[in-house]
Structure 1
Amino acid sequence: MTAPARRSATRTLAALATAVVLSLTAVHASTAAPRTAGAVGQAGPTAERLDGTLPDGATWIADVPEDWNGTLLVFSHGFGVTVAQNAPSEAVRLRLLDEGYALAGSSYDTSETLWALESAERDQIATIDAVTAEIGEPTRTLSIGQSMGGLVNARLARSGAGGIDGALGLCGLVAGANDLHTYQLDAEYTIARLLLPDTDVKLVDFASRAEAAATVRQLTTAVATAQKTPGGRARIALAAAFLNLPAWAPGKERPAADDWAGKQEQQYDWLARGVLDLVVGGRYDIEKALGGNNSGNRGIDYARVLAASQHAPLVGALYREAGLSLRSDLRALTAGATITADPAAVAAGERTSSAGQGLAVPLLDIHTTADDLVPVEQENRFADRVRASGDGPLLRQAYVERQGHCTFTTAETVAALHAVEHRLDTGRWGTAATPRALQAAAVALGLDGAAYVPYHPAELTIGRRP
């Protein structure tokens, strides 16, 4: 089937399946606000703003420039956002409008939970249909997704639904919800077991945001207290290893390979910035979406889990300096591991919130090398699954040497999008998605700099569950 035919057939089926009854609000022309100094450099383009509401209550928006180049970009936003977005940042939105792209995106249905994976794909496809009904059939439709939206994006790339021709993932949560909660639980459990041994700390099956917030306070206070002693710092490093937490924090120089104290201090810096608040708070919404706890640790040998971590030398060095027995702590963790997952929630996570089982269209994922919320090691996990499906040639991954979650420059984002278009134009990736080519393309844009580097992530630290 040709691309136009596939696109038309897919949209027809999607329209029938979802019974999309659009509730278009007033369509009006608007002029984008001027860029701030140092962003992209010129006044914003004139674009028509479209918006509407989908049957499940999700809203959508689209910006269509006067000189539309025929390509429609649909953007999938990250966790915690409750309004429609059509670009990862305002600077990127303005630049893409300058280049003639039409931009669209939905809010997803977040009425029940912020983890909207049950509705996100459906709402993004319905948004494509709604926009197409207004502006006509695009010559090409591309998907872009950021953070949780990177998982939505990977699922769209897996199915090709909505007539998607290619996809770009930005710091995507591509290992999926089950893996996410598994290694996060290992870290939370380590803090609770080793730093709060006589305290009852609820780690799963949160009934409310208040329960999750209480756990955040307990764990955060314990970490802050432990950081004051050598033994506490060693145990924090152990939890950070299970969390796949980078040892390079924002605003800091990267520690030397054998600077154990410096590495631990920067891991603690991430924790002090509120990582646990986001990790534990997010668990409430994901559990609510999946109908229960989707992670457990019963039967896990924590010595084996640590042995596979890139941070094992750091942990070992700090334990030796503190005069603590790492072996004893790991045995205690293994002996006390009694949390079991709800099989129905695990199945729901696999059904709604997983990716990598295959690709229908080319996908380029880019990731920062020191990401605290979605560790770059997730890309390894995802790539293994894509290769196992036989679709490895459709996937490319590239890395930006920078701290933080989704901290890409406009130039890095736009250059990556152009690399996806090169793959679609030529039928092959060639060198377009290599670090050197992406760096050169991003710098040539003359925008806000770039830091693409050759990089290969370590394996995700996650124990195999029985």
Structure 2
Amino acid sequence: MKRRLLCVFVLLTLLCSLTVAFSGSALAASRTSSSCVTPGGTNTLHGTIEGANYTIAVPANWNGTLVLYSHGYVFATSPLLNPAPDAGDSQTAAVLLQQGYALAGSSYSQNGWALQQAFHDQAALLHFFDVTCGHPSRTIAWGHSLGGIITAGLIQRFPNRFDAALPMCGVLSGGIGTWNQALDSAFAFDVLLAGNTLPLVHITDPATAFKQAETILATAQTTAQGRARISLAAALANIPGWFDPTSPEPGSKDFTAQEQNQFLWQSKVDFAFAFFARAELEARSGGNPSWNTGVNYREQLEKSADHQEVAALYKQAGLSLKQDLKALDAAPRIKADPAAVAYLSKFITFDGDLNMPVLTMHTTGDGLVVNQNEQAYASVVRSQGDASLLRQVFVHRAGHCTFTPAETLAAFQTLIQRLDTGRWDDSTDPGLMNQEAIAFGPAFNPVPPAYINFKPTVFLRPFDARHDRR
């Protein structure tokens, strides 16, 4: 019998602080002795470890399993999360605790692209839990978005501390691939629409760079030629043509609607990272970790999921796509700073070596962390011969991490079943998972469950351990 878990609707804001949650197992182990267990109810601990806030919650009926939560991106200009989230939301936490799961989570000691700090702070929190509450019989890592890459990084760096992982909407292409692909999109936007005036790397005034890019984007959206070029820039990052999770996906030939949605992704979400958050990344990396030397943009477009849309909009606008691609190929390229590449590769490049069951989850219409991240991760896992440990599931919906509680419950119970039985069997069949989600009732299903058979196209700028020649 599959176990149950609770997820959360994630608000899509520029802050993009991401949440997730899940419930406990119906087949949980018997109550475990712990100095943190109190008979009167849940014992909640708050504190600080080396500058990172933490939260620990241990229920009276603790089943011995600890669920370690890694939260998503928080802009460096914001304060550290306090209290630190130990689940995606209070409703989810309550269900988990009722099922006997202990929860823990760190704010990390820094915001921004703080993977280095997150790995250290989450490991320190696990040690603190061991000393304070006792060593768990099982530990499950989970998180959303930046918390997804942190989750996958934790099990790669500390495989002996975890038994399973559930990265959701995670940046599973790794930092270098993700930021390289973002650079390609920004580069095309700058060359074709901004006249090579935008600072793409070594950004010293991110607020001004972001404002300048947003102004140019808004102007370009008012003309057919501008919209065609926006679609090309979007295609080089595989930005989907679907933005609103409450609306149906545009038809496969509705290129006008698709481009409008790509514009919304860029203006409301993506440009904040490409032109603002990149400065924070460069500051912590010691330079620019991204490059486009040697990239053939005609070949990149041919591989993009959006290439038909781009061709159609260029034709409608009376523009020569061939000439614009030549302009991109002729434009001066951007070289990376080796020390920054080394830093971002360390935090983190995936090697595909799995030692435990991993279930990943993604919406098909995610324009911030595109669904092709899952293809990149599956590829490197397959190269290590560990594909049997990995399953990937997809929800047919727009938005970043916009899973319903019931959908995430179904995913978590699937992972628990794999832990308990040692087999996946047909547990990730979309029809079965949708049935399981429906069974949680309307309170957990604000919209119908939407698991779907889906195969992502290729991630356009892959970088994993096979590509790291340093």
- Aligned residue in 2 for 1:454: 453
Change (3 A) 1:357 1:421: same
- Aligned residue in 2 for 1:124: 122
Alpha-carbon shift at residue 288 of structure 1 (Å): 2.1
- Aligned residue in 1 for 2:102: 102
Q: For residues 356 and 414 of structure 1, what CA distance do their matches in structure 2 show?
A: 29
Matched residues, number: 419
Deviations 1:190-242 (A, max 9, x none): 11111111x521110123xxx12211111111111111111111000001101
Amino acid at match of 1:187: S
Amino acid at match of 1:89: D
Alpha-carbon shift at residue 278 of structure 1 (Å): 3.2
Alpha-carbon shift at residue 102 of structure 1 (Å): 0.7
Q: Which moved more, 1:443-452 or 1:229-238?
A: 443-452
Aligned pair partner of 1:201 in 165, 178, 198: 198
Deviations 1:286-306 (A, max 9, x none): 222222111111232211111
Give the conservation status (yes or no) of the 8 Å contact 1:399–1:452.
yes
Q: For residues 164 and 434 of structure 1, what CA distance do their matches in structure 2 show?
A: 25
SS in 2 for 1:248: coil
Q: For residues 367 and 147 of structure 1, what CA distance do their matches in structure 2 show?
A: 10
SS in 2 for 1:258: coil
SS in 2 for 1:49: strand
Give the conservation status (yes or no) of the 8 Å contact 1:357–1:386.
yes
Q: For residues 143 and 54 of structure 2, what CA distance do their matches in structure 1 show?
A: 15
SS in 2 for 1:327: helix
Q: For residues 346 and 273 of structure 1, what CA distance do their matches in structure 2 show?
A: 28
Deviations 1:106-142 (A, max 9, x none): 11120xx521111212211221121232222222111
Deviations 1:303-347 (A, max 9, x none): 111111111110001101111010111111111142101122112
Give the conservation status (yes or no) of the 8 Å contact 2:37–2:62.
no
Q: Which moved more, 1:88-97 or 1:258-267?
A: 88-97
Alpha-carbon shift at residue 452 of structure 1 (Å): 1.2
- Aligned residue in 2 for 1:38: none
Change (3 A) 1:456 1:463: closer
- Aligned residue in 2 for 1:167: 165
Alpha-carbon shift at residue 98 of structure 1 (Å): 2.1
- Aligned residue in 1 for 2:214: 220
- Aligned residue in 2 for 1:22: none
Give the conservation status (yes or no) of the 8 Å contact 1:29–1:49.
no
**RMSD value, Cα:** 2.2
Change (3 A) 1:30 1:414: farther
Aligned pair partner of 1:403 in 390, 398, 403: 398
Superposed counterparts of 1:173-184, under 5 Å: 173-184=171-182
Q: For residues 342 and 149 of structure 2, what CA distance do their matches in structure 1 show?
A: 17
Q: For residues 157 and 137 of structure 1, what CA distance do their matches in structure 2 show?
A: 17
The TM-score normalised by the length of structure 2 is 0.85
Q: 1:365 aligned to 2:360?
A: yes
Change (3 A) 1:325 1:64: same
Deviations 1:136-169 (A, max 9, x none): 2222111112111111111122244462111111
Amino acid at match of 1:396: R
Alpha-carbon shift at residue 463 of structure 1 (Å): 8.0
Amino acid at match of 2:458: E
Change (3 A) 1:280 1:89: farther
Alpha-carbon shift at residue 30 of structure 1 (Å): 13
Q: For residues 356 and 98 of structure 1, what CA distance do their matches in structure 2 show?
A: 37
Q: For residues 284 and 390 of structure 1, what CA distance do their matches in structure 2 show?
A: 37
Superposed counterparts of 1:1-400, under 5 Å: 46-55=41-50, 57-80=51-74, 82-83=80-81, 84-110=84-110, 114-161=112-159, 163-197=161-195, 200-207=197-204, 211-250=205-244, 251-400=246-395
Change (3 A) 1:52 1:393: same
- Aligned residue in 2 for 1:426: 421
Q: For residues 382 and 106 of structure 1, what CA distance do their matches in structure 2 show?
A: 25
Alpha-carbon shift at residue 433 of structure 1 (Å): 2.5
Q: For residues 331 and 385 of structure 1, what CA distance do their matches in structure 2 show?
A: 32
Amino acid at match of 1:206: I
Alpha-carbon shift at residue 279 of structure 1 (Å): 3.3
SS in 2 for 1:461: coil
The TM-score normalised by the length of structure 1 is 0.85
Alpha-carbon shift at residue 401 of structure 1 (Å): 1.1
Q: For residues 263 and 292 of structure 1, what CA distance do their matches in structure 2 show?
A: 35
Q: For residues 128 and 320 of structure 1, what CA distance do their matches in structure 2 show?
A: 57
Q: For residues 176 and 315 of structure 2, what CA distance do their matches in structure 1 show?
A: 34
SS in 1 for 2:42: strand
Change (3 A) 1:54 1:221: same
